[in-house]
Amino acid sequence: MQRLLFTPLKALLGSPCPRLLVPRVAPRTQCGCSCGIRRPLRPGQYSTISNVALQPGRGTVSLPSKAAERAVGRWLLVCSGTVAGAVILGGVTRLTESGLSMVDWHLIKEMKPPTSQEEWEAEFQKYQQFPEFKILNHDMTLAEFKFIWYMEYSHRMWGRLVGLAYILPAAYFWKKGWLTRGLKGRVLALCGLVCFQGLLGWYMVKSGLEEKPDSHDIPRVSQYRLAAHLGSALVLYCASLWTSLSLLLPQHKLPETCQLLRLRRFAHGTAGLVFLTALSGAFVAGLDAGLVYNSFPKMGESWIPEDLFSFSPLLRNVFENPTMVQFDHRVLVGLGISTLLTYVPTPLAAAHQSGSLALLSAALWLMNELRRVPK
Nearest 5°: phi and psi at 47? -130, 170
What is the structure's pLDDT at 43? 40
SS3 content of the chain, % helix, strand, coil (to 5): 60, 5, 35
3-state secondary structure of 179: coil
Answer for the pair 260, 254: CB distance below 8 angstroms, yes or no.
Answer: yes
Cβ–Cβ contacts within 10 Å for residue 166, how many? 25
37: which strand partners?
Answer: 29
* pLDDT score, position 300: 84
CA angle, 287 as apex, 284 and 290 as ends, to 5°? 45
Give me the pLDDT at residue 281, please: 87
> Would the pTM of this model clear 0.85, i.e. be above it?
no
pLDDT of amino acid 205: 93
pLDDT per residue rounded down to tens, the chain (375 residues): 444 444 443 443 444 444 444 444 444 444 444 444 444 444 433 333 333 334 444 444 454 588 889 999 999 999 999 999 999 999 899 888 899 999 998 888 878 999 999 999 999 999 999 999 998 899 999 999 999 999 999 999 999 999 999 999 999 999 999 998 889 999 999 999 999 999 999 999 999 998 877 666 788 899 999 999 999 999 999 999 999 999 998 777 777 788 888 888 888 888 888 898 889 989 998 888 887 888 878 888 888 888 889 888 999 999 999 999 998 888 877 655 555 555 556 665 666 667 777 877 888 887 887 775 554
Q: In a 10 Å sphere around its CB, with 0-12 CB exposed, 13-18 middle and 19+ buried, how is residue 8 labelled? A: exposed
Q: What is the C-alpha end-to-end distance of the chain, expressed in Å?
A: 34
Give the pLDDT score at 60. Answer: 41
Strands (DSSP E) along 117-210, which ranges?
none
For residue 11, what pLDDT is reported?
Answer: 41
Answer yes or no: are the C-beta atoms of 251 and 373 closer than 8 Å: yes
